[in-house]
Structure 1
Amino acid sequence: MTVQRPDSWKDQRGPFDIIGDVHGCARELEKLLEKLGYTLKSRGPRGTRTTRIAHPNGRKVIFVGDLVDRGPASMDVLRLAMQGEADDTSRCVIGNHDDKFLRWLMGRDVQVSSSLKTTIKETKQEKRKFLNQARAYLESLPGHLILDDGRLIVAHAGLPEKFHGIESRQSRAFAMYGETTGQTDDLGFPIRRDWARNYTGTPTVVHGHVAEKKVRHKNNVWCLDTGVVYGGKLTALRWPEEEIVQVKAKRDWFPNPRWN
Protein backbone atom coordinates (compact mmCIF):
# COMPACT_ATOMS: atom_id res chain seq x y z
CA MET A 1 0.00 0.00 0.00
CA THR A 2 1.47 3.33 -1.05
CA VAL A 3 1.42 6.55 0.99
CA GLN A 4 -1.68 8.62 0.26
CA ARG A 5 -1.14 11.93 -1.47
CA PRO A 6 -1.75 14.97 0.76
CA ASP A 7 -4.34 16.26 -1.73
CA SER A 8 -6.20 12.94 -2.04
CA TRP A 9 -9.22 14.52 -0.31
CA LYS A 10 -8.69 18.09 -1.51
CA ASP A 11 -12.05 18.17 -3.28
CA GLN A 12 -13.86 16.91 -0.17
CA ARG A 13 -15.61 19.94 1.32
CA GLY A 14 -16.94 18.24 4.42
CA PRO A 15 -18.56 18.71 6.74
CA PHE A 16 -15.82 17.16 8.87
CA ASP A 17 -15.23 16.37 12.52
CA ILE A 18 -11.50 16.67 13.23
CA ILE A 19 -10.52 14.67 16.32
CA GLY A 20 -7.43 15.25 18.46
CA ASP A 21 -4.94 12.68 19.76
CA VAL A 22 -6.84 9.55 20.86
CA HIS A 23 -3.89 7.56 22.28
CA GLY A 24 -5.78 4.30 22.69
CA CYS A 25 -8.76 5.81 24.52
CA ALA A 26 -11.34 3.86 22.53
CA ARG A 27 -14.27 4.28 24.91
CA GLU A 28 -13.86 8.05 24.99
CA LEU A 29 -13.63 8.05 21.19
CA GLU A 30 -16.90 6.12 20.89
CA LYS A 31 -18.56 8.49 23.33
CA LEU A 32 -17.34 11.54 21.39
CA LEU A 33 -18.52 10.11 18.07
CA GLU A 34 -21.96 9.49 19.53
CA LYS A 35 -22.04 13.06 20.88
CA LEU A 36 -21.17 14.26 17.38
CA GLY A 37 -24.18 12.38 16.03
CA TYR A 38 -22.54 9.31 14.50
CA THR A 39 -24.13 5.88 14.64
CA LEU A 40 -21.74 3.14 15.72
CA LYS A 41 -22.15 -0.52 14.87
CA SER A 42 -19.71 -2.72 16.75
CA ARG A 43 -19.00 -6.41 16.36
CA GLY A 44 -16.92 -8.55 18.68
CA PRO A 45 -15.72 -8.17 22.29
CA ARG A 46 -13.72 -5.21 23.50
CA GLY A 47 -10.10 -5.59 22.52
CA THR A 48 -10.98 -7.29 19.25
CA ARG A 49 -14.05 -5.33 18.19
CA THR A 50 -14.71 -3.86 14.78
CA THR A 51 -16.70 -0.64 14.71
CA ARG A 52 -18.28 1.03 11.68
CA ILE A 53 -19.36 4.65 11.84
CA ALA A 54 -21.84 6.68 9.80
CA HIS A 55 -23.42 10.10 10.15
CA PRO A 56 -26.98 10.91 9.00
CA ASN A 57 -25.77 14.21 7.54
CA GLY A 58 -22.81 12.69 5.73
CA ARG A 59 -20.16 14.11 8.06
CA LYS A 60 -16.74 12.46 8.00
CA VAL A 61 -14.02 12.08 10.62
CA ILE A 62 -10.46 13.32 10.27
CA PHE A 63 -7.97 12.03 12.87
CA VAL A 64 -4.90 14.16 13.64
CA GLY A 65 -2.80 11.07 14.41
CA ASP A 66 -1.42 9.36 17.51
CA LEU A 67 -4.13 6.73 17.49
CA VAL A 68 -1.98 4.41 19.62
CA ASP A 69 0.09 4.25 22.84
CA ARG A 70 -0.53 5.02 26.52
CA GLY A 71 -4.28 4.31 26.61
CA PRO A 72 -6.01 0.96 27.24
CA ALA A 73 -7.32 0.01 23.78
CA SER A 74 -5.05 1.05 20.93
CA MET A 75 -6.08 -1.93 18.79
CA ASP A 76 -9.77 -0.97 19.02
CA VAL A 77 -8.91 2.59 17.95
CA LEU A 78 -6.87 1.24 15.04
CA ARG A 79 -9.69 -1.03 13.96
CA LEU A 80 -12.20 1.81 13.99
CA ALA A 81 -9.90 4.07 11.96
CA MET A 82 -9.02 1.29 9.51
CA GLN A 83 -12.69 0.44 8.99
CA GLY A 84 -13.48 4.12 8.48
CA GLU A 85 -10.78 4.27 5.81
CA ALA A 86 -12.29 1.26 4.06
CA ASP A 87 -15.82 2.71 4.30
CA ASP A 88 -14.70 6.19 3.20
CA THR A 89 -16.06 7.70 6.42
CA SER A 90 -12.73 8.76 7.93
CA ARG A 91 -9.14 9.71 7.14
CA CYS A 92 -6.06 10.00 9.33
CA VAL A 93 -2.60 11.56 9.18
CA ILE A 94 0.43 9.85 10.69
CA GLY A 95 1.41 10.80 14.24
CA ASN A 96 4.84 10.29 15.77
CA HIS A 97 3.54 7.50 18.02
CA ASP A 98 1.86 5.78 15.05
CA ASP A 99 5.13 6.04 13.13
CA LYS A 100 7.17 4.53 15.96
CA PHE A 101 4.71 1.66 16.33
CA LEU A 102 4.90 1.13 12.56
CA ARG A 103 8.69 0.93 12.71
CA TRP A 104 8.37 -1.64 15.52
CA LEU A 105 5.94 -3.68 13.40
CA MET A 106 8.48 -3.57 10.57
CA GLY A 107 11.16 -4.99 12.86
CA ARG A 108 13.18 -1.80 12.99
CA ASP A 109 15.42 -1.00 15.94
CA VAL A 110 13.36 1.41 18.07
CA GLN A 111 13.60 2.44 21.69
CA VAL A 112 10.72 0.73 23.47
CA SER A 113 9.46 3.48 25.74
CA SER A 114 6.82 3.07 28.43
CA SER A 115 4.33 4.57 25.95
CA LEU A 116 5.08 2.03 23.23
CA LYS A 117 5.07 -0.86 25.72
CA THR A 118 1.32 -0.40 26.25
CA THR A 119 0.67 -0.96 22.54
CA ILE A 120 3.14 -3.83 22.17
CA LYS A 121 1.40 -5.58 25.06
CA GLU A 122 -1.89 -5.45 23.16
CA THR A 123 -0.33 -6.94 20.02
CA LYS A 124 0.39 -10.18 21.86
CA GLN A 125 -3.34 -10.95 21.71
CA GLU A 126 -3.57 -10.25 17.98
CA LYS A 127 -3.29 -12.53 14.97
CA ARG A 128 -0.54 -11.91 12.46
CA LYS A 129 -3.13 -11.16 9.76
CA PHE A 130 -4.46 -8.14 11.66
CA LEU A 131 -0.98 -6.86 12.50
CA ASN A 132 -0.06 -7.06 8.81
CA GLN A 133 -3.20 -5.10 7.96
CA ALA A 134 -2.37 -2.52 10.63
CA ARG A 135 1.15 -2.18 9.24
CA ALA A 136 -0.18 -1.61 5.70
CA TYR A 137 -2.66 0.97 6.99
CA LEU A 138 -0.06 2.92 8.95
CA GLU A 139 2.35 2.81 6.00
CA SER A 140 -0.32 4.44 3.84
CA LEU A 141 -0.97 7.43 6.10
CA PRO A 142 0.16 10.80 4.73
CA GLY A 143 2.10 13.38 6.71
CA HIS A 144 -0.73 15.88 6.15
CA LEU A 145 -4.05 16.26 4.39
CA ILE A 146 -5.36 19.09 2.23
CA LEU A 147 -9.14 19.41 2.48
CA ASP A 148 -11.98 21.68 1.40
CA ASP A 149 -10.29 22.93 -1.78
CA GLY A 150 -7.17 23.89 0.16
CA ARG A 151 -8.91 25.85 2.88
CA LEU A 152 -8.06 23.25 5.55
CA ILE A 153 -4.74 21.53 6.38
CA VAL A 154 -4.51 18.72 8.96
CA ALA A 155 -1.12 17.54 10.24
CA HIS A 156 -0.25 15.86 13.51
CA ALA A 157 2.10 18.55 14.82
CA GLY A 158 0.99 21.27 12.41
CA LEU A 159 2.65 22.49 9.22
CA PRO A 160 3.87 25.89 8.00
CA GLU A 161 2.65 27.07 4.62
CA LYS A 162 5.93 26.35 2.80
CA PHE A 163 5.30 22.60 3.27
CA HIS A 164 1.62 22.51 2.27
CA GLY A 165 1.15 19.95 -0.51
CA ILE A 166 4.72 18.64 -0.23
CA GLU A 167 5.20 15.04 0.93
CA SER A 168 8.97 15.03 1.47
CA ARG A 169 11.12 13.66 4.28
CA GLN A 170 11.49 17.17 5.71
CA SER A 171 7.80 18.07 5.55
CA ARG A 172 6.78 14.67 6.96
CA ALA A 173 9.19 15.05 9.89
CA PHE A 174 7.82 18.52 10.67
CA ALA A 175 4.25 17.23 10.39
CA MET A 176 4.97 14.48 12.94
CA TYR A 177 7.26 16.25 15.41
CA GLY A 178 6.89 19.99 14.88
CA GLU A 179 9.90 22.27 15.19
CA THR A 180 12.23 21.37 18.05
CA THR A 181 15.34 23.13 19.35
CA GLY A 182 17.26 19.91 20.03
CA GLN A 183 17.16 20.67 23.76
CA THR A 184 15.00 19.25 26.56
CA ASP A 185 13.34 20.92 29.55
CA ASP A 186 13.83 20.02 33.22
CA LEU A 187 11.32 17.17 32.87
CA GLY A 188 13.09 15.67 29.87
CA PHE A 189 10.55 16.82 27.27
CA PRO A 190 11.75 18.27 23.93
CA ILE A 191 11.66 22.06 23.77
CA ARG A 192 9.57 23.10 20.77
CA ARG A 193 9.46 26.36 18.88
CA ASP A 194 6.02 27.93 18.54
CA TRP A 195 5.83 27.87 14.74
CA ALA A 196 2.16 28.96 14.83
CA ARG A 197 3.19 32.31 16.35
CA ASN A 198 4.42 33.43 12.95
CA TYR A 199 1.85 31.67 10.78
CA THR A 200 0.24 34.01 8.26
CA GLY A 201 -1.13 31.47 5.76
CA THR A 202 -4.67 31.56 4.40
CA PRO A 203 -5.49 27.85 5.02
CA THR A 204 -6.62 26.91 8.50
CA VAL A 205 -4.19 24.42 10.06
CA VAL A 206 -5.47 21.89 12.61
CA HIS A 207 -3.11 19.69 14.64
CA GLY A 208 -2.52 17.91 17.95
CA HIS A 209 0.76 16.54 19.38
CA VAL A 210 1.26 19.04 22.23
CA ALA A 211 -1.16 18.23 25.05
CA GLU A 212 -2.68 21.25 26.71
CA LYS A 213 -5.61 21.52 29.09
CA LYS A 214 -7.47 23.89 26.80
CA VAL A 215 -7.86 24.10 23.04
CA ARG A 216 -5.37 26.56 21.59
CA HIS A 217 -6.42 28.79 18.67
CA LYS A 218 -4.25 31.54 17.25
CA ASN A 219 -3.25 32.83 13.82
CA ASN A 220 -5.71 30.49 12.08
CA VAL A 221 -4.10 27.45 13.78
CA TRP A 222 -5.96 25.07 16.09
CA CYS A 223 -4.36 22.58 18.52
CA LEU A 224 -6.82 19.85 19.55
CA ASP A 225 -4.71 17.67 21.88
CA THR A 226 -6.37 18.19 25.25
CA GLY A 227 -4.76 15.22 26.99
CA VAL A 228 -7.54 12.64 27.15
CA VAL A 229 -5.00 9.94 28.02
CA TYR A 230 -3.81 12.06 30.96
CA GLY A 231 -7.31 12.42 32.36
CA GLY A 232 -8.16 15.51 30.31
CA LYS A 233 -10.60 15.62 27.41
CA LEU A 234 -10.96 14.26 23.90
CA THR A 235 -11.68 17.13 21.53
CA ALA A 236 -13.28 17.48 18.11
CA LEU A 237 -13.44 20.56 15.90
CA ARG A 238 -16.47 20.68 13.62
CA TRP A 239 -15.60 22.02 10.18
CA PRO A 240 -16.61 24.38 8.65
CA GLU A 241 -18.58 25.49 11.73
CA GLU A 242 -15.39 25.81 13.87
CA GLU A 243 -17.35 24.50 16.86
CA ILE A 244 -15.58 22.59 19.65
CA VAL A 245 -17.14 19.37 21.02
CA GLN A 246 -15.51 17.47 23.91
CA VAL A 247 -15.91 14.50 26.25
CA LYS A 248 -14.09 13.95 29.53
CA ALA A 249 -11.68 11.07 30.04
CA LYS A 250 -12.98 8.09 31.99
CA ARG A 251 -9.83 8.29 34.11
CA ASP A 252 -6.16 9.21 34.08
CA TRP A 253 -4.70 6.42 31.90
CA PHE A 254 -1.04 7.42 31.82
CA PRO A 255 1.17 9.56 34.10
CA ASN A 256 2.36 12.96 32.91
CA PRO A 257 4.32 15.15 35.34
CA ARG A 258 3.17 18.28 33.54
CA TRP A 259 -0.44 17.54 34.47
CA ASN A 260 0.05 17.16 38.23
Structure 2
Amino acid sequence: MKIDVIGDIHGCFAELQTLLSKLGYENQNGIPVHPEARKLSFVGDLTDRGPGSVNVIRCISAIIRAGAGYYSPGNHCDKLYRYLKGNDVHIVHGLETTVKELQQLDEKERREVRRQFMELYEQSPIYQVLDDGKLIVAHAGIKEKDIGRYTKRIKEFVLYGEVTGRTLENGLPERGDWARHYSGKPWIVYGHTPVLEPRMLNNTINIDTGAVFGGQLTAFRYPEKQTISVQSSLPFDSGRFREFPGLL
Protein backbone atom coordinates (compact mmCIF):
# COMPACT_ATOMS: atom_id res chain seq x y z
CA MET A 1 0.00 0.00 0.00
CA LYS A 2 1.47 3.32 -1.10
CA ILE A 3 0.22 6.43 0.70
CA ASP A 4 1.13 10.10 0.62
CA VAL A 5 0.03 11.71 3.90
CA ILE A 6 -0.35 15.49 3.70
CA GLY A 7 -0.03 17.74 6.73
CA ASP A 8 -2.23 20.57 7.97
CA ILE A 9 -3.34 22.58 4.92
CA HIS A 10 -5.20 25.41 6.70
CA GLY A 11 -6.62 26.91 3.53
CA CYS A 12 -3.29 26.92 1.63
CA PHE A 13 -4.87 25.72 -1.61
CA ALA A 14 -2.12 26.97 -3.94
CA GLU A 15 0.53 25.15 -1.90
CA LEU A 16 -1.60 21.98 -1.94
CA GLN A 17 -1.75 22.06 -5.74
CA THR A 18 2.00 22.62 -5.97
CA LEU A 19 2.69 19.73 -3.57
CA LEU A 20 0.40 17.34 -5.44
CA SER A 21 2.24 18.15 -8.66
CA LYS A 22 5.63 17.66 -6.99
CA LEU A 23 4.43 14.27 -5.69
CA GLY A 24 3.61 13.24 -9.26
CA TYR A 25 -0.19 13.44 -9.18
CA GLU A 26 -2.03 14.29 -12.39
CA ASN A 27 -5.43 15.95 -12.59
CA GLN A 28 -8.05 13.62 -14.05
CA ASN A 29 -11.51 15.20 -14.10
CA GLY A 30 -10.72 17.20 -10.98
CA ILE A 31 -9.21 14.26 -9.06
CA PRO A 32 -5.45 13.97 -8.44
CA VAL A 33 -4.39 10.52 -9.68
CA HIS A 34 -0.92 9.01 -9.37
CA PRO A 35 0.57 6.81 -12.11
CA GLU A 36 1.83 4.37 -9.45
CA ALA A 37 -1.66 4.04 -7.92
CA ARG A 38 -0.64 5.87 -4.76
CA LYS A 39 -3.41 7.26 -2.56
CA LEU A 40 -3.62 10.44 -0.54
CA SER A 41 -4.27 10.83 3.16
CA PHE A 42 -5.01 14.05 5.05
CA VAL A 43 -4.29 14.66 8.74
CA GLY A 44 -7.06 17.24 9.16
CA ASP A 45 -7.21 21.01 9.69
CA LEU A 46 -8.12 21.63 6.08
CA THR A 47 -9.39 25.15 6.70
CA ASP A 48 -8.90 28.40 8.64
CA ARG A 49 -6.28 31.15 8.52
CA GLY A 50 -5.25 30.57 4.89
CA PRO A 51 -6.83 32.26 1.84
CA GLY A 52 -8.32 29.22 0.08
CA SER A 53 -10.35 27.20 2.57
CA VAL A 54 -13.41 26.81 0.32
CA ASN A 55 -11.31 25.44 -2.53
CA VAL A 56 -9.57 23.05 -0.16
CA ILE A 57 -12.97 21.74 1.03
CA ARG A 58 -14.10 21.22 -2.55
CA CYS A 59 -10.86 19.47 -3.49
CA ILE A 60 -10.62 17.08 -0.53
CA SER A 61 -14.34 16.31 -0.67
CA ALA A 62 -14.00 15.29 -4.32
CA ILE A 63 -10.94 13.12 -3.56
CA ILE A 64 -12.69 11.23 -0.76
CA ARG A 65 -15.92 10.78 -2.73
CA ALA A 66 -13.89 9.32 -5.61
CA GLY A 67 -12.19 6.82 -3.31
CA ALA A 68 -8.81 8.34 -4.13
CA GLY A 69 -7.78 9.04 -0.56
CA TYR A 70 -8.46 9.13 3.17
CA TYR A 71 -9.29 11.90 5.61
CA SER A 72 -9.79 12.34 9.32
CA PRO A 73 -10.62 15.66 10.99
CA GLY A 74 -8.54 18.02 13.06
CA ASN A 75 -9.66 20.40 15.76
CA HIS A 76 -10.29 23.18 13.22
CA CYS A 77 -12.41 20.79 11.15
CA ASP A 78 -14.37 19.88 14.26
CA LYS A 79 -15.02 23.52 15.07
CA LEU A 80 -16.10 24.34 11.51
CA TYR A 81 -18.47 21.37 11.60
CA ARG A 82 -20.05 22.63 14.82
CA TYR A 83 -20.36 26.12 13.32
CA LEU A 84 -22.06 24.77 10.18
CA LYS A 85 -24.46 22.77 12.37
CA GLY A 86 -25.54 26.03 13.97
CA ASN A 87 -23.83 25.53 17.30
CA ASP A 88 -22.68 28.55 19.29
CA VAL A 89 -18.93 28.69 18.64
CA HIS A 90 -16.49 31.59 18.91
CA ILE A 91 -15.47 32.72 15.43
CA VAL A 92 -11.79 33.21 16.28
CA HIS A 93 -8.40 31.49 15.84
CA GLY A 94 -8.76 31.40 12.06
CA LEU A 95 -12.38 30.35 11.74
CA GLU A 96 -13.22 33.96 10.89
CA THR A 97 -11.30 33.64 7.59
CA THR A 98 -13.30 30.58 6.54
CA VAL A 99 -16.58 32.19 7.57
CA LYS A 100 -15.70 35.26 5.50
CA GLU A 101 -15.03 33.07 2.45
CA LEU A 102 -18.36 31.32 2.89
CA GLN A 103 -20.20 34.62 3.23
CA GLN A 104 -18.75 35.78 -0.08
CA LEU A 105 -20.39 32.86 -1.92
CA ASP A 106 -23.91 33.07 -3.28
CA GLU A 107 -26.52 31.10 -1.37
CA LYS A 108 -26.48 28.10 -3.70
CA GLU A 109 -22.69 27.78 -3.57
CA ARG A 110 -22.67 28.22 0.20
CA ARG A 111 -25.23 25.44 0.68
CA GLU A 112 -23.21 23.13 -1.58
CA VAL A 113 -19.92 23.74 0.21
CA ARG A 114 -21.67 23.24 3.55
CA ARG A 115 -23.12 19.95 2.31
CA GLN A 116 -19.73 18.79 1.03
CA PHE A 117 -17.96 19.51 4.29
CA MET A 118 -20.69 18.11 6.53
CA GLU A 119 -20.71 14.89 4.50
CA LEU A 120 -16.92 14.69 4.55
CA TYR A 121 -16.76 15.12 8.31
CA GLU A 122 -19.64 12.81 9.18
CA GLN A 123 -18.45 9.94 7.01
CA SER A 124 -14.81 10.00 8.13
CA PRO A 125 -13.19 8.18 11.06
CA ILE A 126 -11.67 10.18 13.89
CA TYR A 127 -8.32 8.63 12.91
CA GLN A 128 -7.21 6.43 10.03
CA VAL A 129 -6.01 2.83 10.40
CA LEU A 130 -4.28 1.94 7.13
CA ASP A 131 -2.19 -0.90 5.69
CA ASP A 132 -3.60 -3.50 8.09
CA GLY A 133 -2.80 -1.32 11.09
CA LYS A 134 0.82 -0.61 10.15
CA LEU A 135 0.04 3.07 9.48
CA ILE A 136 -2.06 5.33 11.71
CA VAL A 137 -2.96 8.88 10.70
CA ALA A 138 -4.30 10.94 13.60
CA HIS A 139 -4.47 14.73 13.65
CA ALA A 140 -2.68 15.39 16.94
CA GLY A 141 -1.45 11.83 17.45
CA ILE A 142 -2.61 8.88 19.50
CA LYS A 143 -1.11 6.72 22.22
CA GLU A 144 -0.31 3.10 21.42
CA LYS A 145 -2.78 1.71 23.98
CA ASP A 146 -5.63 3.66 22.35
CA ILE A 147 -5.19 2.44 18.77
CA GLY A 148 -8.35 0.61 17.74
CA ARG A 149 -10.45 2.27 20.46
CA TYR A 150 -12.95 5.09 20.06
CA THR A 151 -14.06 6.99 23.15
CA LYS A 152 -14.73 10.63 23.96
CA ARG A 153 -11.38 10.85 25.76
CA ILE A 154 -9.51 9.42 22.77
CA LYS A 155 -11.32 11.76 20.40
CA GLU A 156 -10.24 14.73 22.52
CA PHE A 157 -6.63 13.54 22.44
CA VAL A 158 -6.68 12.91 18.68
CA LEU A 159 -8.14 16.38 18.01
CA TYR A 160 -6.22 18.45 20.55
CA GLY A 161 -3.24 16.36 21.59
CA GLU A 162 -1.67 16.07 25.00
CA VAL A 163 -1.82 19.24 27.08
CA THR A 164 -0.07 19.98 30.36
CA GLY A 165 -2.67 22.33 31.79
CA ARG A 166 -0.25 25.26 31.60
CA THR A 167 -0.51 28.26 29.28
CA LEU A 168 2.27 29.67 27.12
CA GLU A 169 3.19 33.36 26.89
CA ASN A 170 1.19 33.67 23.66
CA GLY A 171 -1.94 32.46 25.45
CA LEU A 172 -2.05 29.04 23.81
CA PRO A 173 -2.11 25.84 25.88
CA GLU A 174 1.23 24.14 26.49
CA ARG A 175 1.32 20.81 24.70
CA GLY A 176 2.88 17.62 26.00
CA ASP A 177 5.28 15.41 24.07
CA TRP A 178 3.52 12.05 23.78
CA ALA A 179 5.72 11.01 20.83
CA ARG A 180 8.82 10.98 23.05
CA HIS A 181 7.31 8.06 24.98
CA TYR A 182 5.80 6.13 22.04
CA SER A 183 7.19 2.61 21.65
CA GLY A 184 4.70 0.97 19.28
CA LYS A 185 5.35 -0.69 15.91
CA PRO A 186 2.67 1.12 13.83
CA TRP A 187 3.85 4.33 12.22
CA ILE A 188 1.87 7.30 13.50
CA VAL A 189 1.67 10.33 11.23
CA TYR A 190 0.25 13.48 12.77
CA GLY A 191 0.29 17.28 12.69
CA HIS A 192 -1.45 19.90 14.86
CA THR A 193 1.73 21.41 16.37
CA PRO A 194 3.73 23.43 13.81
CA VAL A 195 7.42 22.53 13.60
CA LEU A 196 10.12 24.04 11.40
CA GLU A 197 11.03 20.65 9.89
CA PRO A 198 9.26 17.27 9.94
CA ARG A 199 9.94 15.68 13.32
CA MET A 200 10.56 11.93 13.15
CA LEU A 201 10.82 10.11 16.48
CA ASN A 202 10.00 6.58 17.72
CA ASN A 203 7.98 5.50 14.64
CA THR A 204 6.08 8.81 14.69
CA ILE A 205 6.37 11.85 12.47
CA ASN A 206 4.88 15.31 12.83
CA ILE A 207 4.35 16.77 9.34
CA ASP A 208 2.68 20.06 10.28
CA THR A 209 5.44 22.32 9.00
CA GLY A 210 3.33 25.46 9.26
CA ALA A 211 2.39 26.28 5.68
CA VAL A 212 -0.13 28.85 6.85
CA PHE A 213 2.57 30.53 8.97
CA GLY A 214 5.02 30.86 6.09
CA GLY A 215 6.71 27.49 6.58
CA GLN A 216 6.15 24.53 4.30
CA LEU A 217 3.41 22.11 3.31
CA THR A 218 4.75 18.60 3.79
CA ALA A 219 3.83 15.08 2.68
CA PHE A 220 5.08 11.82 4.22
CA ARG A 221 5.54 9.05 1.67
CA TYR A 222 4.70 5.60 3.00
CA PRO A 223 6.15 2.97 3.00
CA GLU A 224 9.27 4.82 1.80
CA LYS A 225 9.32 6.97 4.96
CA GLN A 226 10.39 10.02 3.00
CA THR A 227 9.15 13.60 3.25
CA ILE A 228 8.51 16.00 0.38
CA SER A 229 7.72 19.66 1.04
CA VAL A 230 6.90 22.87 -0.81
CA GLN A 231 7.53 26.36 0.46
CA SER A 232 4.60 28.53 1.52
CA SER A 233 3.91 31.80 -0.24
CA LEU A 234 2.68 33.41 3.00
CA PRO A 235 4.74 35.60 5.38
CA PHE A 236 6.90 33.71 7.87
CA ASP A 237 5.80 33.91 11.52
CA SER A 238 8.54 32.37 13.65
CA GLY A 239 6.52 32.65 16.85
CA ARG A 240 4.06 30.01 15.67
CA PHE A 241 6.54 27.15 15.57
CA ARG A 242 7.44 24.83 18.41
CA GLU A 243 11.02 23.74 18.89
CA PHE A 244 12.12 20.36 20.19
CA PRO A 245 15.80 20.87 21.11
CA GLY A 246 18.08 18.20 19.71
CA LEU A 247 15.28 16.38 17.90
CA LEU A 248 14.54 18.49 14.83
**Superposition TM-score, scaled by structure 1 size:** 0.88
8 A Cα contact 2:57 2:116, kept in partner: no
How high is the sequence identity, in percent, across the aligned residues?
A: 43
Q: Distance in 2 between matches of 1:156 and 1:121?
A: 25
Question: Secondary structure in 2 aligned to 1:127?
Answer: helix
Unmatched 5+ residue regions in structure 1? 1-13, 43-50
Q: State which of 18, 22, 25 in structure 2 corresponds to 1:35.
A: 22
Give the equivalent residue in structure 2 for 1:258. Answer: 240
Q: State which of 99, 102, 117 in structure 1 corresponds to 2:96.
A: 117
Q: State which of 138, 149, 157 in structure 1 corresponds to 2:121.
A: 138
Q: Distance in 2 between matches of 1:116 and 1:127?
A: 16
1:157 is aligned to 2:136: no
- How far residue 107 of structure 1 moved from its aligned partner, in angstroms, is 0.6
Q: State which of 21, 31, 35 in structure 2 corresponds to 1:52.
A: 31
Q: State which of 16, 26, 35 in structure 1 corresponds to 2:3.
A: 16
Q: Which residue identity lines up with residue 234 of structure 2 in the other structure?
A: R
- How far residue 222 of structure 1 moved from its aligned partner, in angstroms, is 0.3
* CA 1:84–1:258: 2 relative to 1, 3 Å: closer
Q: Which residue identity lines up with residue 101 of structure 1 in the other structure?
A: L
1:234 is aligned to 2:213: no
Q: How does 1:98-247 map to 2 (within 5 A)?
A: 98-124=77-103, 125=105, 126-247=109-230
8 A Cα contact 1:67 1:98, kept in partner: yes
Q: Distance in 2 between matches of 1:234 and 1:93?
A: 17
Q: Distance in 2 between matches of 1:153 and 1:52?
A: 24
Q: How many residues align?
A: 237
Unmatched 5+ residue regions in structure 2? 242-248
Q: State which of 38, 43, 58 in structure 2 corresponds to 1:64.
A: 43
Give the equivalent residue in structure 2 for 1:84. Answer: 63
Q: Distance in 2 between matches of 1:232 and 1:111?
A: 27
**Superposition TM-score, scaled by structure 2 size:** 0.92
Listed one character per residue, the Cα deviations across residues 217-237 of structure 1 (whole Å, up to 9, x for unaligned) are 111110000000011000001
Q: Distance in 1 between matches of 2:49 and 2:201?
A: 28
* CA 1:256–1:192: 2 relative to 1, 3 Å: same
